[in-house]
Structures are given as structure tokens and as C-alpha cells.
Chains A and B, each alone.
Chain A
Amino acid sequence: MSEQVEHLIKKEYAAGFHTTIDSETLPPGLNEDVIRFISAKKNEPEWLLEWRLKAYQAWLEMTEPEWAHVKYEDIDFQAVSYYSAPKSMDEKPKSLDEVDPELLRTYEKLGIPLHEQAALAGVAMDVVFDSVSVVTTFREKLFEVGVIFCSISEAVHKYPELVKKYIGSVVPQRDNYYAALNSAVFSDGSFVYIPKGVRCPMELSTYFRINEQNTGQFERTLIIADEGSHVSYLEGCTAPMRDENQLHAAVVELIALDNAEIKYSTVQNWYPGNEEGKGGIYNFVTKRGVCHTNAKISWTQVETGSAVTWKYPSCILRGDNSVGEFYSVALTNNYQQADTGTKMIHIGKNTRSTIISKGISAGKSSNAYRGLVRINPGAEGARNYTQCDSLLIGDKCGAHTFPYIESKNPSAVIEHEATTSKVSEDQMFLCQQRGLDAEKAVSMIVNGFCREVFKELPMEFAVEAGKLLEVSLEGSVG
């Protein structure tokens, strides 16, 4: 059976093309001048430059984290270019008509039409190409209800009080090695503000694309949901196929004020490297949200890409009755490595968290769930439920579970469960006997395995995620 499976997981990375476009790219290297350059390029106020430099100083003193269950060659941070933008973006285009057609074609090819009439109805997009935000659609329509959705560089100018108040409030500059690096050199990203009591009328979405060679992408996303508001945000990403490893170190901060709700979904499809494990993106991301009273943050992620993933979307449940959720499907194939999971920090009373993690490993990959559930002494009546399931396809891959559970309050109830299994011959036999070929059968079994997570995704994404999984598994069945 396994030969057949292996045959099925072999796949082509569809988004692996490169766009030829005139870019302004900084030479590789990192020092204070580079940071000053990025800051000047974006006309940033003095306080932000100071903030960046402080982060840089912190980063210099820190060491790379080594505790994750991943192995990769040391990254030469001086060989990475920290800023790259299409020349045509020097003057930010006022409307889509002014955007370089080559750029538009890139997104069309990726299946993301940017013209509002052609775009998926009900999804507003911010599109980030290397280090800059290209365009944000449906802005006027959103502005009518008071929702701010723009690139973070723009927000720094237009809404400095909001940015200044919240940036670094959830992920401080010194939080970890990659967060510090991001704080020093972040180039662009999305900014969202939902005013009090507003339910955002459409899905917000950011699409990240790495294009240039030898560059890293360091975006920063900041989402603030004011009291009683609601927003659903989606994130997608791709990169060209290259033999070198490219670095992606993002920071996402979510702030859900009293009674607010943020739903953050990711479909991560960075280039995973080729069959021999050459190339691919190093995805070292810090994502964290803070929930105030009665607020809710829900993370949903489908991770299929990247050579190495190091990512722990977390919730700080500060307010009483706040809720944190984490739904994850992580699929690794060939030589991919993923160390991903979540942290749920229960501080407020009656806080609740749910963690559902599904790991699928195929080929020679390694897939680890690493999670922390911490109940602080004041978290009276806190509740956590964790379920981690792993599915192994092939006998050369690894599936691991490293849950840390810490409780300091007797009234808290914590449950953790983990299982590991494989696509069994019985299941395959049953499906094939019913007329499905091996590939369809595996795809169906895997889809069923991930169902609990997929149902949390917005519809368009759920379809995409299902398809992505199918492609990623192509050739892994037998």
C-alpha cells in the first residue's frame, strides 16, 4: 500500500512561478542603517524609528530558539535582504488602474482577482508583495461603516494614536528572537480597526507573496476589535520555487476588547521545498491575541507549505468569561518540518479554551504539536479541552506531541487527549470496494480526519483548504 501512497503524494507546487518585475532591493545585510533606510522609505515618525532601533538592540542580545523539534542549517542573517519593493510602487498607486499590470497578472495567476467587480463578493483584500502593500480593495465600502482596513505603513500616518497605543502591546519587542527581528525590520502588513459595536460587513483578507530572491518577508499585522465588534480575517500566502531557503518572520497582534470577537484564519502555502528537501520558506511566526472581558479570539490554521514551520498562535485570556479557540490542520510531506501549536493563558475567571489540532505527516517529514495551557491562580472556573490527533502516511515520517499543562487553580478543569493512527488498510479497502480509487480514498479519509477544523473556516477558504490538502497529498497513497 505504501508505494501507492508515495506515488500519490508527489505533487507540483502550483504557485511556484516568479514574476519578472523591476524591483528596488536592498543589498543583503542588517545593521542600524538598514533599519533607518526602511523607516525613512516609509516616512515614519521618529518614535517608530526609535521603537525599531530598540528592538534591534534587543535582538542583538538574544539567541535563536533551539527548543523546537526542527533541524535546519543556521540562518545567515547578514545574507538576507530586508527590503524589496517593485519600482512601480515607489509612488503608492491611488487606484487599481495605476497598479503595474504585471503585478495584477501575478495575482490573477494565483487565482486572486483584485478588481472589485471580479473579486470574491464579500471579501476585502490587502495584497502584500515582498515588502510593500500593493492595494487594498473595498476600502470605501468598509469606511462607510467605520471599519479601517489598510496597510500598516498607511495606518502609521493616518491613525498614529491607535498604532502607537497597540503595537507591541501583545507581542513586545523582546518577546522572542524572531519577534525582535520583525519589530526591527518589519516592512508592511495589514492594519484593521473595527469600531464599537460594528459587525464587519465582509471578510477581510491579506495575501502575502514573496517574489524576489534572497529577500525575507517581515510583515506585521495589527487587528483591533473595539467593544462589542466582530471581524473575520483571512490570510493566505505563496512564494516562488527556489533552491535557497527564504525567511518569513511575521508578527500578528490581535486585540479583542470587551465583548468583541475576532476570527483569524490562515491558509499557509509557502513553498515547501522540493522532494529532496531543497529550498523552501522558513516560516517563523509569532501570533498572539489578547481577550478582554467576554471577548473571543478564534485561530484557525491550515498549514501545508513551508520547509520549516515554527508557529504558535496564542490567546491571553485576560478578561473574565473570555474564550480562546485554536483549530489547526498541519500537513507535512517530503522533508518538511513543522513545530506548531498554541498557548492558552488563562488569567480571568471562567475563561474557556478549546484546542483541536490535526497533524498529518507523509514522506520523510516531521510534524509536532507543541502547546501550553496555563491556568493562573486567579482563573477561577477555567476550562480547557485539548485534542491532538496525528495521522501518519508512510513509515519514514514522524508525528509528535509536546503538550505543557500547568494548573494553579483547583476549580479549573483541564482535559488533554492525543492519539496517533494511520490510514488503515481496512479503511482503504472499504473505500476502494465502494469504487473509489486509492487516491480519492485517502483524500476522503484525510478530509474526514480534518473535518472538525475545516468546518471552522469561512466557506471559500474551506474549499481551498480541501483542495490544497488534496494536491499536497498527491502521490502519498498506496
Chain B
Amino acid sequence: MSDFQHQAIRLTAQQQPLTWLESLRNKATDAWLAQPWPTRKTEHWKYTPMQGLQKTLLHVWGTAANQILDKALQDELIPVDATRLVFVNGVFDAKHSSRLPETVVRFSQADAEQQALIEKYLGNIVEGEHHLFATLNNAWVDDGVLIHVPRSQRLDKPVYIVNVVTAVAAVSNQRVLIVLDENSQAEIIEHYLSSADVQNGFANSLTEIHLGDNANLQHYRLNMEEEHAQHIGAVHVDLQRNARLRGFALALGSSLMRVDYQLNHRGQGAELDLQGIYLPRNQQVVDYHTNICHWVPHCTSNEVFRGIVSDSAQAIFNGRIYIHQDAQKTLAELSNKNMLTSNKAEVNTKPELEIYADDVKCAHGATISQLNTGARYYLQSRGLSRAEADVMLSFGFINELLEQIAQPAVHDYLQPRLAKLFGRDNSLNEVNVLAELADDKTIG
């Protein structure tokens, strides 16, 4: 047990939590204090540098600070026609949020029926004993967002949840619960931001998703915080019979960014597509741990993560596929490709397969390399400068995944922003490269 663990619990004294969540909070508090603090010897935290977080003094809830989205950050929002919820330092900012439809409600506003639904699912999709910080999120849980799509309904607009941290040394606990009943359909975007001057902030986010039979969800999770933010988060999903999830994850990197995906195929015929991009620079750390568990037969998983690691940044990827003895006829594939662009950059990747059923097709692949010199030579011989060629090649490497984003607003928001990252130190004309990319979608 570490000081951090005690401090984290002491903080709860500043909260005035919802009384009907108390039993979940109390149970989680005990569990959180009982678990050992991860070290280099803890398998799932082997490569994650935790010293910085451990030294972080958790003084205040972000709630004590600014609660209104400032102008600069308003410009960072995705211009999408959606039901928007904005949380600033963990507090709901009604001014910048949309009027909520019946399907979307904050925990604090939930009626008796919704409370019952929340109590049924909240904390039950997540497997706390393997996820230390999910336990912390339970211990801290207060307000959050419930998205409940009833049977055979479809959300007419995407739900866009924005979580912003703006205060120095502030703590923010972010919680989303998504319940899709049978045959329902939804599209949800989670967007995490922080203001540029935030030092030592700490955000703990947890999303729980229940997909009923034949439910269909598109889920985006964009971690676009500034350099000095610290974020540990997780997405836990249960997929029932023939449910379908298309997930997309993006991380630009911050002083600590760790996201766990726990995906459980619990009903036959469920399908899962998960794609991710990470682009850490400077001293940043990005850590994705994904764990796909096939418990029943006839399910499909396809996971692709790509990353470009620059400067002194560090990327960690751990992708586990677990096939239970009963999960015959499973198809599961995982690919992780990494590009290192600097002598000080570091990648640690670990694709894992754990298979107990024989009639399955499983494969994983991982590569680490740098830009293909042959491809660079080709572009240079066609008249591009070396810098331009490099931007085009690196951007092409991730653009392949960007092109598959189904929601046009997200795609159009991300593409220029990410392209800009590659051109940052070069004198080249980004617009030109982008224009060429736009003309020729086959690049990459």
C-alpha cells in the first residue's frame, strides 16, 4: 500500500456523494486499500512508469476550480451534430452542454427506475480485482453519465462526452455507463482534453458498456490531453449474442496515459473491431492494455493498433487474447505495428495468446521498425524533399486507420490535427501534403 492510496481515499472526505452509490463506494474503498501498489515486478504495470503519479500530491478535487469551459478549449471541440455533455474538472457544465434527451441522464438526475438500472450494471461489468484504478474509480464514483438505449431503438444523434481538466494538481473522476438493450443502436464519442497549463493533474476515467443481443455500438475514445496531464482509464465491455462493437482509440500522449480495454464476448456470434493509434512525443508515455476474452463459441475479434514514437517518448502495448475452453470456432486477430523515429524513443510490446479451445483460428503479429528507406528514396526521386517524404510516409502509416473511421465529423476533425503533428518541425507546407493526401486516398 502506498501513500498515494491513502491520499486518494482521504480525498473522498471532500465529496458529498449520492447516497444510493454508497455501498459500491465503500466496497471499492476497502478493495482499493487492500491491493498492492504496482511496481516494476507487477506484470501488468511492468513498463508503466508510476513514480510520477505516486509523487503527485492529491490535494483537491478539480471541482474546487474552474467549472466553465474556457474559450481556447471550446475551439478544440469536435464540430459534430450530437448530444453534447461537457464536464469541466469533473463538474457538469450546463452552459456548453446540449439539452439531454431521455436516453441520456446524469447519475445525479436519475429517477428511481434509472437508479435501479445504474445499480444493476455499475461496477458489475468491470472486473475490479484485475484493475486497480477501476476500483479507485468505484471508490470515487459520484456523478457520471448513463446512456440507456431501450429495446429496438436507435439514438438519432451521437452522444458526445467531453471531459476537461483545467486546474493545477486537480483530480477528476470520470464515469460513463452505456447500456444498449436488444436490437438497439448508438454512437458515442468520449473526448478527453486538458488546458495547456495543467501540471500534475490526474484524471481517472472508467467506461462500462453493456451490449444486449444484436445491439450495435460505435465507440470513440480520444485522449487528447496536453503534455503534463496524467490519465489512467479503462473501457470494460460485455457483448451479448450477436452484439457488435466498433471501437476506436486515440492517444496523443501525456506525462502518463494508460488505458485498459477489457472486452468480454459473453454471447455467441458477437463481433468486435477495435482500432487504435498512439503518437507519443517528447517525454510522453502511452500505455494501452487490451484484453479480449472469448467465453463462448462463434465470436470474432479483430484488433489493430499502430503507433509512432518520437523524441524520448515511450509506448507500451499489451494485447491479450484469451480463448476459453468452450469458445470453439473463434476467429481472433491482433496486429500491432510500431515506428520509432528517434534514438531515445522506446517501444515495449507484448501480444499474448492464451488458448484453451482447439477449433479456433487465432493469430497475432507485432512489428517495430523505422521508416522504409526504399519508400523514402522513391518519394525523393519523385521530387519531394526528405522532410515531405517522411511526413507523407509516417502519416500514411496511421492514415490507413483514420480512413476507416465511420463518423465523418471525427475523421475530419482528426485528420488535419494529426497531420500537423508530423509537420511540426519542418518548414514544409503542410497544406500541400495534406492536399495531396486528400486527392489520393490510396496512400498508406
B126 to nearest A CB, angstroms? 24
The contact size tier of chain B is: 35 or more
Given A405-B368, A410-B341, A410-B370: A418 in contact with B359 (beta carbons within 8 A): no
The residue in chain B whose Cβ has the minimal distance to the Cβ of A69 is B354
A417 within 8 A of B: yes
Q: Are A395 and B362 in contact (CB under 8 A)?
A: no
**Interface with B: A211-219, A223-231, A386-394, which one?**
A386-394
A414 to B343, CA, bound (A): 16
A349: min CB distance to chain B, Å: 13
Q: Are B359 and A415 in contact (CB under 8 A)?
A: no
Q: Mark A394-437, 1 if CB is under 8 A from B, else 0.
A: 11111111111111111111111111111000000000000000
Question: What residues on A are CB-neighbors of B362 within 8 Å?
Answer: 419-420
Closest residue of B by beta carbon distance from A5: B358
Per-residue 0/1 for B339-351: is the Cβ within 8 Å of any A Cβ (1 yes, 0 no)? Answer: 0111111111111
Instruction: Please pick, from B47, B345, B353, the residue contacting A418 in the complex, using a CB distance under 8 A.
Output: B353
Known contacts: A406-B346, A410-B342. The answer to whether A401 contacts B364 by CB under 8 A is yes
Report the minimum CB–CB distance from A294 to chain B (whole Å): 24
Q: Give chain B residues whose Cβ lies under 8 Å from the Cβ of A392.
A: 355, 357-358, 360
Q: How large is the interface on A (under 10, 10 to 19, 20 to 34, 35 or more residues)?
A: 35 or more
CB distance from A384 to the nearest CB of B (A): 9
Cα–Cα, bound, A411→B370 (Å):
6
Q: Which residues of B contact A398 (CB under 8 A)?
A: 354-356
Q: Which of B343, B363, B365 contacts A377 (CB 8 A)?
A: B343
Do the beta carbons of A407 and B355 come within 8 Å of each other? no
Contact B328 A395 (CB under 8 A): yes
C-alpha spacing A418/B348, complex, angstroms: 17
In terms of DSSP, what is the predominant structure of the interface of chain B?
A: strand
Q: Give chain A residues whose Cβ lies under 8 Å from the Cβ of B365.
A: 415-418
- Given A410-B340, A410-B343, A412-B368: A418 touches B357 (CB 8 Å cut-off): no
Residues in A with CB closer than 8 Å to B47 are 406
Closest chain-B Cβ to A406's Cβ sits at a distance in Å of 5
Cross-chain contact A400 with B353 (CB below 8 angstroms): yes
Nearest B-chain residue to A423, judged by Cβ: B358
Find the A residue at minimum CB distance from B316. Answer: A406
- Contact A402 B350, CB 8 Å, known A392-B355, A395-B325, A407-B368: yes
Chain A residues, Cβ within 8 Å of B353: 390, 399-401, 418, 420
Does B43 interact with chain A (Cβ within 8 Å)? yes
- Interface presence of A67 (CB below 8 A): yes
**B360: nearest chain-A partner, CB-CB:** A420
Residue B369 lies at the interface, judged by CB distance under 8 Å to chain A: yes
Closest to B326 in A: A395
Closest chain A residue to B350, Cβ basis: A404
A418 to B356, CA, bound (A): 16
* Minimum CB–CB distance for A203 against chain B, Å: 36
Check A67–B348 contact: CB distance below 8 A: no
B309 CB to nearest A CB, Å: 9
Alpha-carbon distance between A421 and B367 when the two chains are bound, in angstroms: 22
- Give Cα A413–Cα B366 distance, bound, in whole angstroms: 11
Known A400-B353, A404-B350, A412-B369: A422·B358 in contact at CB below 8 Å: yes
Give the most central of A401, A403, A415: most B CB within 10 Å.
A401
State whether the Cβ of B93 lies closer than 8 Å to any Cβ in chain A. Answer: no
Q: Write out the residue numbers on chain A whose beta carbons fall within 8 Å of the beta carbon of B359.
A: 395, 422
A positions within 8 Å CB-CB of B: 67, 375, 377, 390, 392-422
The chain B residues found within 8 Å of chain A, CB to CB, are 43, 47, 325, 328, 338, 340-370
Question: Can you report 7 residue pairs joining A to B where beta carbons are below 8 Å apart?
Answer: A400-B355, A401-B351, A401-B352, A405-B350, A412-B368, A419-B362, A420-B361
**In the complex, the 5 A-B pairs of residues with the closest C-beta atoms, listed nearest first:** A410-B340, A392-B358, A401-B353, A414-B368, A416-B366
